[in-house]
Amino acid sequence: MATKNFDGAKRNKADEFYTQLSDIEKEMRFYREQFRGKVVFCNCDDPFESNFFKYFAINFKFLELKQLIATCYIGSPIANKELSLLPHESVENKTTKAPHKIVINEAVDENNDGAFDLPDIILSLTKNKNNTLTRLNDDGDFLSAECIELLKQADIVATNPPFSLFHEFIDLIIKHKKHFIIIGNQNAITYKDIFALIKANKLWLGLSMNGSNRWFRVPNDYAFSENAKHKVDEQGYHYIFVNNVVWYTNMDTPKRHERITFYKKYSKTEHKHFDNYNAINVDKVTDIPTDYFGDIGVPISFMHKYNPEQFEIVDALNRYALLDTQNTNEAVRNAKSHTCNINGIATYFRIVVRKKENT
Ligand SMILES: C[S@@+](CC[C@H](N)C(=O)[O-])C[C@H]1O[C@@H](n2cnc3c(N)ncnc32)[C@H](O)[C@@H]1O
């Protein structure tokens, strides 16, 4: 179960990073066709503060969505305080920090200004019975029975879930067989449960963030750690620079059908063999030899180029935790090294891949 801790002081700080609209726009454009006629659920998203809700609401017509649902967690420290996209006072029923859900079924130009935007949504909540803002009975935890019922009605989950509950979140949406496009840390690729999904082609990377570092908005009273890179914008909003951000999805992307071309020939000196695992190592994806068809240890960055028609993911090697997904790396376990070594020196995390064809 999720940690129900509403005490701001003890709250997990990394859970309160708010995604910028531009980052959401950059990714969602790749899935336009896949959103048509679908129910989108943002289940870690206060509609009053989440740009995920904002993106799908203002693009409701463009994407031809069937329905948009967003639910808010009671514990959100900024609910009704800082990131207001909608003016709270204009909406009946909205109580400070109350967990609530918003359901949009229709995008109507309520104020007749020729466009559909946030003011129309606000008006629609009081005028149009097809769009509603209501209190949740429970606390808005994505694991609560009430939110799981909403999840069952959804086709696609789109959000940036709390970092500390990433495993629970993935577990839930996979269990309910939902499509999803969510934000996470690239290092999650090396988690045992996440890697197992990657290997089984049930989860892969989106296209726009590629493990880059991104600015996320944080509450104005956020206590930055000494090493954190942060800034305040001209409006006085606070941001933190977060490393290695990626999109995780199970929605199709063009990259998954693009062949990677290689130009290097296999060379025993350049493509070194692991001491304790039957595979060669490459440090850069472009170094994969054209004429080698055995197992190859590649860096995580391979996942940004991965085409499952061209490659099979066989295993993973990690010097910190043995990802024993296939029982093939017994030698590593027996040696108790938990590493993939070359000449006695551990390499970084490696994904072991094999070409599917002689290319
Ligand atoms: C990383 S923030 C992202 C917020 C928003 N999705 C966005 O991208 O801007 C995660 C959000 O999930 C909320 N949250 C924390 N625990 C939750 C839970 N168990 N169920 C639902 N939401 C939760 C946090 O309060 C926070 O608002």
Nearest atom of ligand 1 to the alpha carbon of 43: 21
Q: Which residues contact 302 (CB under 8 A, 6 or more apart)?
A: 285, 351, 353
Task: Match 């949406």 to its residue by tokens.
Answer: 173
Mean pLDDT, range 67-93, rounded to an integer: 62
> Per residue in 31-46, pLDDT tens?
999 999 999 999 999 8
Q: Which pLDDT score is estimated for 359?
A: 54
Give 317 Cα–ligand 1 centroid separation in angstroms.
Answer: 32
Q: What is the mean pLDDT of the chain?
A: 85
Give 237 Cα–ligand 1 centroid separation in angstroms: 18
Pairing relation of β-strands 296-298 and 280-281?
Answer: parallel
Structure confidence at residue 7 (pLDDT): 42
Indicate if the alpha-carbon torsion angle 298, 299, 305, 308 is positive or negative: positive
Q: Match 């020196």 to its residue by tokens.
A: 345
Asked if residue 14 has pLDDT above 90, the reply is: no
CA of 36 to the centre of ligand 1 (A): 26
Dig out the tokens for 193 from the structure.
């449960």
The per-residue pLDDT for 311 is: 97
Tokens of 61: 């017509």
314-354 confidence digits (pLDDT tens): 988 764 444 444 455 565 556 555 567 888 887 888 999 99
Dihedral (Cα; 214, 223, 88, 115), 10-degree rounding:
-10
Let me know: does 137 contact 160? Beta carbons within 8 Å: no
CA of 138 to the centre of ligand 1 (A): 16
Q: Which residues contact 264 (CB under 8 A, 6 or more apart)?
A: 270, 286, 287, 288, 289, 290
pLDDT, greater one: 336 or 214: 214
pLDDT at 79 over 70: no
Q: pLDDT tens-digit profile of 89-145?
A: 444 444 445 688 999 999 999 899 988 888 888 888 887 779 998 889 999 999 999
Band of the pLDDT at 206, cuts 50, 70, 90? very high
Evaluate if residue 223 carries a pLDDT over 90: no
Ligand 1: which residue has its CA nearest to atom 26? 16
Q: Two tokens at 59?
A: 């693009």
Question: Cα–Cα distance between 127 and 131 in angstroms, integer?
Answer: 9
> To test ligand 1's pocket by mutation, which of 5, 10, 44, 45 has the most ligand atoms within 8 angstroms of CB?
44
- What is the Å distance from ligand 1's center to 206 Cα? 20
pLDDT at 6: 41
Give the lowest-confidence range in 49-53, 244-248, 285-289: 49-53
pLDDT in tens, 147-189: 999 999 999 999 999 988 999 999 999 999 999 999 999 988 9
The confidence score (pLDDT) of residue 213 equals 92
Mean pLDDT is lowest, of 5-9, 77-81, 118-122, for 5-9
Is 265:271 a contact under the CB 8 Å cutoff?
Answer: no
Q: Which residues contact 327 (CB under 8 A, 6 or more apart)?
A: none
pLDDT of 1 over the 50 cut? no
Taking CA atoms only, the protein residue closest to ligand 1 atom 22 is 44
For the chain, how many residues are written? 359
Protein residue closest via CA to atom 19 of ligand 1? 141
Measured between alpha carbons, how far is residue 79 from residues 87, 97, 123 in Å?
12, 5, 20
For position 312, what pLDDT does the model report?
A: 96
The number of beta carbons lying within 10 Å of the beta carbon of residue 223 is 10
Q: Please identify, by atom number, the ligand 1 atom nearest to the C-alpha of residue 142.
A: 20
Q: Which two tokens stand for residue 48?
A: 């009053």
pLDDT of residue 258: 96
Nearest to 210 by CA among 31, 25, 23, 347: 23
Residue ranges around ligand 1 (CB below 6 Å): 2, 15-19, 44-45, 50-52, 73, 75-76, 140-142, 159-160, 162, 165
Residues 230-282 have pLDDT tens digits of 999 998 889 999 999 999 999 999 999 999 999 999 999 999 999 888 999 99
Beta bridge mates, 179: 156
CA distance 243 to 17: 12
State which of 19, 41, 73 you would mutate to test the pocket of ligand 1, scoring each by most atoms of that ligand within 8 A of its C-beta: 73
Give residue 80 CA to ligand 1 midpoint distance, Å.
Answer: 14
